[in-house]
Amino acid sequence: MADARKPIAFDTTLRNPYRIPDFISIFKQYEGKILTSELIIKIEAELIRQKKFEPTKNTLGTYKREYKGKFYFEADDQSDDAAERVAKYYKEWVEGEPGSVSIDKIIYLLKNTVTDHKDHWEGGWETRLWTQCKFLNELGLVYMEKGHIIKISPAANLMLHGYDSDEDTSSNIQSAYLSVFAKYQVNNPFRNNTIKVNFFSLVLKVIKYLKEKYDRPGIFYQDISFIIAWDSNDYVQLAEYIQAFRNKFRYNNVSDELVYSYAMNLLDESTPNNIIAEATKDFIDKKSKHYKFTQLTRETRDEVIRKLRMTRLISFRGAGRFIDFNNLEIDKINHIIDSYTHNISEFESDEAYFDYMGSIDKALVFEDDKIDTAVALTAKEKAISEFASNHDWEYLKSQISIISNGTDTKDALLRFIDVPVRLEFLCSVIIKKKLPKVMVIANYLADDEGIPYGTAGGQHGNCVGTDIDVYEDDIHAIIEPTAATSRSFQTEHELPSIRNHIFGSKEKDVNEGNPYKKWFALFIAPKLVKDVADQVALIRAINNVEIYPWNADDFVEYSANNNFDSIQEYKIIRDYMKPQQL
């Protein structure tokens, strides 16, 4: 496919950097093997078998004897009972735990069902794997190209360090992601685009220029559309364009339709970029199918913000209306500006690109045992208190319900916070709103405004590994939210960890001479499985450790509808969490 002028865009298959190791852990099993069509299907089957990726019934659970859409497909099994067998195997997989169904059954499903993806490789499930590894190829985390040996880079191996253990791996994941994203070029061997842009350094330089020359609090969220449409590393001209646009229209009541028209003019190669003007009607009519309104003003803009936030170097200002430097990481910001501005127009080979991208920049590695500074703690406390003060109980109920039901939030700030850490943030807010006098210490990673980046890290160094600590008189309670709903994760991972966190909290308090005499935990999830009730009772009987499980909706309803002023009022075994008995 020939290169063409396109807006900057990012693949959305893997939005969350914490999911990247899930996929790489599967790819790692096949490192050193030549990627063939047969191996592609096997890898995709293993991803599905382990539930790293969960296709719908319409694709994986629906037999297709023949397909003549974007490509031609004929089912491997043409027998009369093939549809029944597909339905049976799919049901086994849906109801089973990750890895419980044989890979042969999943391969059977892939050979007798269709997904209508068609790009780069053969259509269907082959292309589905391409969509899952394409951005990882672009980042240099893996090298997966048909007919070539599968490679896993040093950055990817850093992501996998400690994977599948109770060790805190968040810093490894974020260090690896930042190291590769800092080098990311829009012009790379895996993307057909004529423009040459070092994306992250361009954004950082624009922010710096606007701050230093115009004292602006970063980049207004709508103006990201202009970055998406920009065609070079000329940050001065881009920053001046953004400033001139805002001088002309200011910030309030500027429609996305207007922003789209101006961004389209930047994409028109027949017009200069230093002219602040709308695109012609003829250009919009001709190119609107290629440069879609939703792409330039919503989808890609939102995805850019997510990708930038993943780095931990970008903060929100003005309730999410501006993106700015995270001043807690200014050394890393300056290092990227100084080191990754030069655009490498050509690489000797795809492998040379992989070697360049996949190396680790030690200056961008986060410390895994770093303790929050007083400034960082104050920022988190302020963000929690302000959100609690600015939103009523009905709003908090609605946001918890969105998480529990798996739907999308429209909140301008929360929609850029991934569900697991969003639940931690909202639980902190609920406790603070209900009990304003208690001390709430949230241990998630946050920017200099206290807005969360990622979930609390596990146990490491002097950190016990709790998600949220609540202190009241002689009580040290811990709050442990999880977005996971699987039986195995809740009972085999979360509950043993919570038990150990209580032991660790008590030991630390005693060793440090803290005044706390009572320790217990609240375990909060969108939907608790019944086995949690039995395990909680068992832990209490064996270890004398108190854990009180709550469904998230019930937790916020109870907080809103009952009058009390102590964290101890949550020490209740709800009816749905009473142990099973004969």
* Ranges 107-116, 170-179, 206-215, 553-562: which has the least confidence: 170-179
Separation between Cα atoms, residue 169 and residue 490, nearest integer Å: 19
Predicted pLDDT at 6: 77
- Domain locations along the chain: 17-173, 199-342, 374-577
What does the pLDDT look like over 389-410, one tens digit per residue?
999 999 999 999 999 999 999 9
The residue among 163, 175, 49, 192 whose CA lies nearest residue 107 is: 49
Q: What is the mean pLDDT of residues 54-78?
A: 95
Question: Which residues make Cβ contacts (< 8 Å) with residue 415, sequence separation at least 6?
Answer: 302, 408, 409
Predicted pLDDT at 1: 46
Predicted pLDDT at 12: 73
Neighbouring C-alpha atoms within 13 Å toward the C-beta of 358: 22
User: Is residue 129 a contact partner of residue 117, using CB atoms and an 8 Å limit?
Assistant: no
Give the CA distances from residue 502 to residues 170, 281, 315, 466, in Å, rounded to whole numbers and listed in that order: 21, 65, 32, 8
User: Is residue 145 a contact partner of residue 160, using CB atoms and an 8 Å limit?
Assistant: no
CATH number, span 199-342: 1.10.10
Per-residue pLDDT for 2 more than 50? no
Give the CA distances from residue 299 to residues 9, 118, 155, 403, 422, in Å, rounded to whole numbers and listed in that order: 9, 21, 28, 21, 20
Its CATH class, for the domain covering 374-577, is: alpha beta
**Banded pLDDT at 459 (limits 50, 70, 90):** low
